[in-house]
Amino acid sequence: MNPLLLTLCTIMPSALPMSKQQTKNVCKYEKLITIESKKNGLEPALLASLIYIESAFKPRVVSKSNACGLTQVIPKYTGGPETGYKKYTCEQLKNPRTSIIVGAKILGYLKRVYAKGNEDNALCMYAAGTICLKNKTLHETLFYVRKVRTVYDTITNDC
């Protein structure tokens, strides 16, 4: 087991608001988060932090903007190079395995191609698109990056 995510699923519920079901989900998806993170050049703790902020590890959640699943991907934005030109429906993205795979691919692609390795820029683009490269003062996206980083720091500092 990845000790970083093991910390999240065993110790972090006291540091982060998580229900028993959410804690179980973290542990259940730990291996897949680790595998998909590594495949896409990401740290497992970063992807776990993104999932915590996006969906609080609730796999079937759908936002007002029709973002679906654990990683809150909007189906209409799939089908490009970041997802291997494959389109996904909201129902497919509610599947935890699919959501983790697709979310990791998108974040990894953004980090590699647009953000040139900068994780904060990749997180910003994950939340708001490539406009983040032009306007880094978008309050909402800066707040989003800060939220993900706070969870990430909590996870990594408690290891």
In this prediction, residue 49 carries a pLDDT of: 94
In this prediction, residue 16 carries a pLDDT of: 73
In this prediction, residue 122 carries a pLDDT of: 95
Sorted by where each begins, the domain ranges of the chain are 3-157
In this prediction, residue 125 carries a pLDDT of: 92
Q: Tens digit of pLDDT per residue, the chain (159 long)?
A: 455 555 666 656 666 778 888 888 888 998 999 999 999 999 999 999 999 999 999 999 999 999 999 999 999 999 999 999 999 999 999 999 999 999 999 999 999 999 999 999 999 999 988 887 777 666 677 889 999 999 999 888 755
The CA distance from 28 to 43, in Å, is 18
37: left (phi over 0), alpha (psi -120 to 50) or beta: alpha
Please give the CATH architecture assigned to the domain spanning 3-157: Orthogonal Bundle (1.10)
Sign of CA dihedral 49, 50, 56, 57: negative
Q: Could you tell me the two tokens for 25? A: 């989900």
In degrees rounded to 5, what are phi and psi of residue 68?
A: -125, 145
Full 3-state SS string of 13-54:
HHCCCCCHHHHHHHHHHHHHHHHHHHHCCCCHHHHHHHHHHH
